[in-house]
Structure 1
Amino acid sequence: MANTKEFFLNVTQRIFSNWTALRMAVEHGMGSKDRAVDFCPYITDVIYMNDDFSSDDLAVELEEYMDREFQTELQDNSAKEIAEILMNFYHYCHDGYEETAKAEMNKLPQLQPWILSRDEIKQRTSNLRPINDDSSSDSEEENGNSMETAATNASDWVEVKTRRKK
């Protein structure tokens, strides 16, 4: 894998975007979305700068960040679970198990876009390609409404836009 740190950052984003404690902290105003977005590269850097980091060390770091940046005390053992998953991926990347890392990433839940920065959202949506679908109903077009869809090659995510005729 040419750039393991970039791959690992993508894994971290995917995991954090599905972490209920983090999402709830943002949704309930305990911390900003920007802090959640920054959390991903921060943890990636912490792990890559400390070769002898254990999952227990990482769990402590996750808990401290959540407490410091989101005024959230975790009591559900999720930091330990997240730390173990991240450390497994780090070892796959560090030890050169590219196929295992990719296979395990495919088992993770899909990336939730709430954790992406505006620039990342723009970058991902600029790579959308139109899907030609002639199955729109005549009644939609008569009412002046039609649906336009686009999807990326890399995921199953589909953006649906309403287009109104004037």
Structure 2
Amino acid sequence: MSNTKEFFLSVVQRIFSNWTALRMVVEHNMGTKKMVIDFCSYMTEVMYMNEGLNVSEIANELEKYIDEQFNTELEDNSSEQVAEELLRFYRYCIESHESLAVTEFAKLSPLQKWLDMNKPAKEIQTVCAMETDSSESEKETSDDMKVVDEWTEVTRKRRR
């Protein structure tokens, strides 16, 4: 593998595109697609500039970056899972296990559309779009449901 750093960056991009926490950061406008792309480059540099990193150090760096850049705190262990994957592929790259790296890369989930590097950055559309009315903050939708400030309140059915 002539340029392991370039290959590793593509691994980081693929892993990050499948990381739900990052997708949600973009979907909830806490960061942009470009910020996530920059995060991929940043983590590639961190991995290649610091010898002997372990999973917890990588996970801490991921959490610190997400906290500082996206103002988001992770409440699951996803940073450790991502760190394990990054370290595994980093070792393949620095130990010249080209065929294993390529084989394992093929097993990763594909690059998700929301982080596709070849397409221009567009706002992510959420699956559930709530209808809003600027003149009313509350609308009746049925006898037992009403929309209040974009939240649907479900009440008990009335007995007749």
Answer yes or no: same fold by TM over 0.5. Answer: yes
Question: 1:153 — aligned with what?
Answer: none
Shift of 1:10: 0.3
Matches within 5 A, 1:142-153: none
Question: 1:2 — aligned with what?
Answer: 2
Q: How far apart, CA to CA, are the structure 2 residues paired with 1:98 and 1:113?
A: 27
Question: 2:80 — aligned with what?
Answer: 80
Q: How far apart, CA to CA, are the structure 1 residues paired with 2:94 and 2:48?
A: 9
User: Given the alignment of the two structures, is residue 121 of structure 1 paired with residue 119 of structure 2, yes or no?
Assistant: yes
Q: Deviation string for 1:62-86 (max 9, x for gaps)? A: 0001111111110110000000000
Q: Which segments of structure 1 move beyond 2 Å, counting only runs of 4 or more? A: none
Between Structure 1 and Structure 2, whose CA radius of gyration is higher? 2
Shift of 1:37: 1.1
Partner-residue secondary structure (3-state), 1:121: coil
Structure with bigger helix share is 1
CA RMSD, aligned part only? 1.2
Shift of 1:121: 3.1
Q: Count the aligned residue pairs.
A: 120
Q: How far apart, CA to CA, are the structure 2 residues paired with 1:16 and 1:22?
A: 7
Q: What is the identity, as a one-letter code, of the residue corresponding to 1:11?
A: V
| Stretch of structure 1 that moved more, 20-29 or 108-117 | 108-117
Q: How far apart, CA to CA, are the structure 1 residues paired with 2:33 and 2:6?
A: 21
- Which runs of no fewer than 5 residues in structure 2 stay unpaired? 121-160
Q: Deviation string for 1:24-51 (max 9, x for gaps)? A: 0111011122111101010000000001
Partner-residue secondary structure (3-state), 2:53: coil
TM-score (norm 1): 0.70
Shift of 1:110: 0.3
User: Given the alignment of the two structures, is residue 95 of structure 1 paired with residue 95 of structure 2, yes or no?
Assistant: yes
TM-score (norm 2): 0.72
Q: What is the identity, as a one-letter code, of the residue corresponding to 1:54?
A: N
Question: 2:11 — aligned with what?
Answer: 11
Q: Deviation string for 1:68-108 (max 9, x for gaps)? A: 11111101100000000000000000001001101110110
Contact persistence 1:37–1:116 (CA under 8 A):
no
Partner-residue secondary structure (3-state), 2:110: coil
Relative contact order higher in (CA < 8 Å, ≥ 6 apart): 2
Question: 1:140 — aligned with what?
Answer: none
